[in-house]
Amino acid sequence: MKKILPIVMFLLMSFGLYGCGAVKLDISDYTSVTFSGFNGDGIAEPVIDFDSLEDAILLQGKKADALQTILPSFENSIKCEIDKSSNLSNLDTVKVTFSGNTDSLKKYGIDLATSPMDLTVNGLSEYTHLNANDIIEYSQEGYEPYITITYSINSSIPASVAGSIVLPASEMVKGNNGDTINRNLEYDSTLLKAEGILVDDDSYSVVLEGHGKYIQDLSEISSSDQEMILSNADDSVNTFLASAIAVNGPFGQMISANGHQLSYSYTDSYIIEDEITKENILYGIKDSYMNEETYPKNIYIITYKVPIVCVPSASNFHHEVEFTLDAYYVYILSDLVVDENGKLNYQIERHEEYYTQADYDTFTTQLKDAYQEIARSAIN
């Protein structure tokens, strides 16, 4: 009986140290799991708050000084694992488990459990799904068949990724109203995805609309419109000649005729003989450097052959004989278009005048050297 008593006392002491006197803690109560990212690509990150766990152990455990010395090795032994940490979607379930040397705490009155954690994923943001046409904006201007499209990036796209989108500032395309221009967007998918943007379709299209039309051949406009153009040109040259003759003659004081410099005073009179005739009417030229993919710089020249009788005054000692001179007045017809409302627009400007056939022939030769002939049309 006396031998049994010490054994019982030892068992009671042991039970008091490791049993009923132990403080129960659970490492899961000091662990949090953060879900971040976007639905379908979410990330789970478990974190153990060792600072709070240590405080609880030291506060409730025995022999705090001795306990303090073993805590670093205890922490190093703890491992936290999660069965799925990436490519997560909302409502997925994940399991967090723990392992480590928790028995080292028992003799200090701490019973640390490592209960697993079963969690449901939530709070992941949804991706914004866009097509390329949602990302770009554009405007268009010009006349058929040469349209300029100007591009920009939608202001809703974050500036941090807008720079990764490859987009031309503008481009000239050949097409007509109703045509569709198809392109593919170039971009850094990784950067857009990081901002929560998924591009479902990287192709975009521009429908050409609201454009007038370049007149590239006079057959494209009615004969009445052609006659109107010539009538306006006639008015321009007649107004100019009337004004020039009234002031100081159509050529000024010096002209070159038949290789000789002839001088006339402002008192000399100039008479337009008979009617003005037109030569090379609506003679079409096109810049030889232009091709069908660029702006069609089509212009037309209207040449007026003006027979002028020069009557020297009595005070003109340089030349005393009346003579007739054919002057050539060249007018440029340009910017010939039909706008989006069907209205014909154009510009007529006086280009140059030539006072001899030779000078005019030199001009037309140079013109043909510099430009490519594309049309010739005579209207009586």
Whether 2 is covered by a domain: the verdict is no
23-26 and 110-113 beta bridge pairing: parallel
> Do residues 29 and 52 share a domain?
yes
Query: Which residues share a beta bridge with 23?
Result: 110
> Do residues 243 and 353 share a domain?
yes
User: In this structure, are residues 194 and 202 in contact, taking their beta carbons and an 8 Å threshold?
Assistant: no
192-224 pLDDT tens trace: 898 899 999 999 999 999 999 887 667 778 888
How many structural domains are present in the chain?
3
> Do residues 42 and 61 share a domain?
yes
Q: Residue 122's pLDDT is what?
A: 95
Q: Residue 364's pLDDT is what?
A: 67
Enclosing H/E stretch for 212: strand 212-214
pTM of the model: 0.60
Q: Residue 307's pLDDT is what?
A: 66
Query: Distance of CA 358 to CAs 257, 260, 298, Å?
Result: 9, 13, 26
Q: Residue 182's pLDDT is what?
A: 95
In angstroms, the CA 370 to CA 285 distance is 9
> Do residues 34 and 172 share a domain?
no
Q: Residue 229's pLDDT is what?
A: 82
Written as one letter, the residue type at 318 is H
> Do residues 334 and 265 share a domain?
yes
In angstroms, the CA 122 to CA 117 distance is 15
In angstroms, the CA 347 to CA 332 distance is 8
- Domain span at 105: 8-120
In angstroms, the CA 219 to CA 135 distance is 43
Q: Which residues of the chain have pLDDT under 50?
A: 1-19, 247-296, 316-318, 371-380
Whether 3 is covered by a domain: the verdict is no
Domain limit, last residue, from 181, 213, 245:
213
